[in-house]
Amino acid sequence: MRNKISALLFGTAMALSVASIASADDKVVKIGVLSDQSGLYADLAGPGSTLAAQMAIEDSGLKAKGWTIDLISGDHQNKPDIGTTIARQWFDVDKVDTIVDVPNSGVALAVNNVVKEKNGVYINSGAATSDLTNAQCTPNTVHWTYDTYMLAHATGQALVKAGGDTWFFLTADYAFGAALERDTTAVVTANGGKVVGGVKHPLNTADFSSFLLQAQASKAKIIGLANAGGDTTNSIKQAAEFGIVKGGQKLAALLLFLTDVKAIGLETAQGLNFTETFYWDLNDNTRAFSKRFSEKMKSGAPPTMVQAGVYAGLLHYFKALDALGGNPHDGAKVVAKMKTIPTDDPLFGKGEVEANGRVTHDAYLFEVKKPSESKGPWDFYKLVGTVPGNQAFTPLDKSTCALLKK
């Protein structure tokens, strides 16, 4: 046993010394895409996120500059335990430097702690929780694409300005729904609107008719859906059945993805308002990227905003690596570098990585097209309004991130 331990120690010492020798021009980096490959989020992140990461590596041009970039992917199966074990193993055994994507707020926050402990880099694109850049922010985390604050804020502000000044909320009865409702209510009242009522429904409700009847009776102009996934799609579908949109009330989904609209179908989803930060058909750049992307996707689907966020986040990370010139293994240092470079990529445009790790970029309010307006299989949205990046996300003076209190 004693021999074994000393051998182990010797081995570690060797490894350390080799590492310190190599650090001068160490240009080897390994990226892990940790996503939900099979569950609820597989369509909007999953294999598409891995593809986006591959494309980011190809497009970064770092290989030509002598870098070696490896990519692995894993399935966290929406279980925080599995997510953290994979993350730990990636850092300890597989020598991964950077973890990207990670949809599902529970898993995302769990992995957040591991990345900090191991001093890696964490570029989250898939999770909604704004805690990542507030109470639980770390010097190793960058949060791209969206969060609950932004969704609530952008949707609430744009709709009230467009005349939707009375609101009724259908809220999923757990922390996520409550956060969405709270943030949206704040924006609605700040802009002169009024919340006339609301109802809390349990998670994974199959039947929304009771709640929709109450929403209908409230006569509110906007019915805000502070829920996610199957709850949102079911409430939208049943709202159409109860003639709510035809009766003149508008539905505002606070969290909805391209793939959800596809799943509901335009017939039912038409007229629905919601916010995303990326849509494949926004401009020439997004169309060019999406064309390349969907050609490589098995299903032929264009990228969702989460997948686009993986791509853009990695491109920015590679810029920081390029600026550092090598030795990419000190996560906090790399993230600090990412915060000094303004972001600028073909998908999200210009923005910045704020001190709390939040990436700011424009957010767009969309309305779902009528079936007659749609010209292709994925032609779903029309742009209704744009919220500039510096207004869409939590203002730094309101962020509770400890990094800001230096």
Partner 1 sequence: MQALYAQLLVGLINGSFYALLSLGLAVIFGMLNIINFAHGALYMMGAFVAYFLLNLGGINYWWALLIAPVVVGVFGMILERTMLQWLAGLDHLYGLLLTFGIALIVQGVFQNYFGSSGLPYSIPDQLKGGVNLGFMFLPVYRGWVVIFSLVVCLATWFLIEKTQLGAYLRAATENPTLVRAFGINVPRMITLTYGLGVGLAALAGVLSAPINQVRPLMGADLIIVVFAVVVIGGMGSIMGSIITGFALGVIEGLTKYFYPEASNTVVFVLMVVVLLVKPTGLTGRAA
Partner 2 sequence: MSALTDDTLPMTPRAMRDEMIVFAVMAALLAAVPFTGIYPFFVMQALCFALLACAFNLLIGYGGLLSFGHAMFLGTAGYCTAHALKVWALPPELGIIVGVAAAALLGLVTGYISIKRQGIYFSMITLALSQLLYFLYLQAPFTHGEDGIQGIPQGHLFGIFDLSKPLVLYYVVLVGFLAGFLLIYRTINSPFGEVLKSIRENEPRAISLGYKTDQYKMLAYVLSGTLAGFAGSLKVFVAQNASLTDVHWSMSGEIVLMTLVGGLGTIFGPVVGAFVIIAMQQYLAGFGQWVTVIQGVIFVSCVLLFRRGLVGELAHLLRRSL
- DSSP label of 362: -
With binding defined as CB under 8 A, does residue 52 bind partner 2?
A: no
- Using a 10 angstrom Cβ sphere, with 0-12 exposed, 13-18 middle and 19 or more buried, the burial of residue 183 is buried
With binding defined as CB under 8 A, does residue 218 bind partner 1?
A: no
With binding defined as CB under 8 A, does residue 5 bind partner 2?
A: yes
What is the CA 5 to chain-centroid distance, rounded? 44
Closer to partner 2 by CB, 101 or 131: give it.
Answer: 131
Question: Measured in Å, how far apart are the chain's first and last C-alpha atoms?
Answer: 48
Cα separation, 278 vs 359, whole angstroms: 14
Which candidate, 94, 59, 143, 76, places its Cα nearest to that of 319? Answer: 59
Cα separation, 149 vs 185, whole angstroms: 11
Closer to partner 2 by CB, 177 or 389: give it.
Answer: 177
With binding defined as CB under 8 A, does residue 113 bind partner 2?
A: yes
Q: Collapsing DSSP states into helix, strand and coil, what is residue 300?
A: coil
Q: Which of the ranges 105-113, 216-224, 293-301, 348-356 carries the binding residues for partner 2, by CB under 8 A?
A: 105-113
With binding defined as CB under 8 A, does residue 234 bind partner 1?
A: yes
With binding defined as CB under 8 A, does residue 342 bind partner 1?
A: no
Residue 32: partners with Cβ closer than 8 Å, 6 or more residues away: 71, 72, 73, 74, 86, 87, 90, 94, 96, 98, 99, 100
Which entry of partner 1, partner 2, none binds 217, CB below 5 to 8 A by partner kind? partner 1
Ramachandran angles phi, psi of 328, nearest 5°: -90, 15
Q: Which of the ranges 102-110, 239-247, 284-292, 337-345 carries the binding residues for partner 1, by CB under 8 A?
A: 239-247
* Residues that bind partner 1 in the complex, under the rule CB under 8 A: 38-40, 42-44, 173, 199-207, 209-211, 213-214, 216-217, 229-230, 233-234, 237-238, 241-243, 259-260, 262-265, 267-268
Q: Using CB under 8 A as the criterion, which residues of the chain lie in contact with partner 2 when the complex forms? A: 1, 4-5, 8, 37-38, 42, 74-75, 77-82, 84-86, 88-89, 92-93, 104-106, 109-110, 112-113, 129, 131, 136, 173-176, 202-203
